[in-house]
């Protein structure tokens, strides 16, 4: 039984996997980490291995708590991966992107796969049909765009994402919503088209906190899987156990 810990920019997400099946999932603020980890091990005492993917929000004391209960693998850019990593600067590749590339490698073997992770940032990660990770792109996420418009201007309000009635805004608020939501949608669709022109039989997987929100706005055939990163982490853990 595996414990998967994804410490993102906003929340901690954890899952318990029995082989390839997720049997428990929850998410919470970092301040609750120690309490929630103890509760999970109390509920699932058969957990023998854990993997931690952290973008920097967890400190060593938090990670040490997990090691009291089981064997722990901390995901880094030196972790052994099943795919060939052709990134020019592998030492700078984020652990979240490593996990997504792993999920793509196992989910869609010997095929061209583009993974779009719509979270704090929107990342694009490409694994080709040779099992090779070749890179992608990073751009601001939806909430980051809303915050930037508010924080870097004098009068624009802070808004939360919502569905568009029309892409032509007729007030300051609807213009902001159009600029952010329609802008992101056009970006995602345009980038998918670029990849479609270069790679045959491309599979596109959309994941992350805004995956379901954006999936309604893509004109391309995609597969929305909000837990794709967690599945990739479980595959990485199994791969490194061997």
In whole angstroms, what is the distance from residue 113 CA to residue 199 CA?
9
The verdict on whether residue 145 carries a ligand-binding annotation is no
Give, in order, the Cα–Cα distances in Å from 169 to each of 45, 172, 178: 54, 7, 6
**Ligand-binding site membership of 117 (annotated):** yes
Residues 109, 110, 111, 113, CA torsion sign = positive
241: Cα separation from own chain's centroid: 23
10 is in an annotated binding site: yes
Is 170 one of the annotated binding-site residues?
no
- In whole angstroms, give the CA distance from residue 146 to residue 235: 34
- The answer to whether the annotation marks 172 as part of a ligand binding site is yes
Is 96 one of the catalytic residues?
yes
Residue 7 labelled as part of a binding site: yes
Annotation-wise, does 166 bind a ligand? no
Which stretches of 75-182 are assigned E, i.e. beta strand?
84-85, 113-118, 121-127, 132-140
Question: Is residue 163 annotated as involved in ligand binding?
Answer: no
Pairing mode of beta strands 223-224, 203-207: parallel
58 is in an annotated binding site: no
Residue 11 in marked binding region: yes
Q: Is 125 marked as a binding-site residue?
A: no
Residue pair 49/73 in contact by the 8 Å Cβ criterion: yes
The answer to the question of whether 6 is labelled as a binding residue is yes
Cα–Cα dist 225/205, whole Å: 7
R_g (Cα) of the chain, nearest Å? 19
Helical packing angle, 142-151 and 183-198, nearest 10°: 140
Active-site residue, selected from the candidate residues 19, 59, 62, 96:
96
Of 4, 100, 15, 3, the C-alpha closest to 53 is 4
Whether 96 has a binding-site annotation, put simply, is yes
* H or E element in which residue 94 lies: none
The verdict on whether residue 104 carries a ligand-binding annotation is no
Residues marked as catalytic: 96
Q: Which residues carry a binding-site annotation for ATP?
A: 6-13, 120
Annotated binding site: 6-13, 87, 94-97, 117, 120, 172
Which residue numbers belong to the known binding site for K(+)? Answer: 117
Annotated binding site for substrate: 87, 94-97, 172
């Amino acid at each position: 039984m595996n414990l998967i810990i994804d410490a993102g920019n906003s929340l901690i997400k954890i899952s318990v996997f029995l082989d390839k099946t997720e049997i428990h999932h929850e998410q919470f603020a970092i301040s609750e980490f120690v309490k929630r980890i103890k509760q999970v091990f109390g509920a699932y005492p058969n957990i023998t291995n854990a993997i931690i993917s952290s973008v920097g929000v967890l400190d060593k004391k938090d990670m040490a708590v997990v090691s009291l209960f089981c064997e722990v693998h901390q995901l880094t850019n030196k972790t052994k991966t099943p795919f060939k990593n052709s990134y020019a600067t592998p030492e700078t590749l984020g652990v979240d992107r490593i996990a997504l590339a792993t999920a793509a490698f196992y989910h869609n073997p010997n095929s061209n796969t583009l993974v779009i992770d719509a979270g704090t940032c929107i990342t694009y990660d490409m694994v080709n049909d040779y099992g090779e990770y070749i890179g992608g792109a990073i751009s601001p996420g939806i909430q980051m765009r809303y915050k930037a418009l508010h924080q870097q201007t004098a009068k624009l309000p802070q808004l939360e994402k919502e569905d568009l009635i029309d892409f032509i805004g007729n007030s300051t608020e609807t213009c902001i919503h159009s600029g952010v939501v329609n802008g992101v949608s056009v970006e995602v669709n345009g980038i998918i088209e670029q990849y479609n022109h270069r790679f045959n039989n491309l599979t596109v997987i959309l994941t992350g906190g805004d995956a379901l929100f954006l999936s309604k706005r893509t004109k391309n055939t995609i597969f929305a899987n909000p837990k794709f990163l967690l599945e990739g982490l479980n595959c990485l853990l199994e791969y490194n156990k061997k």
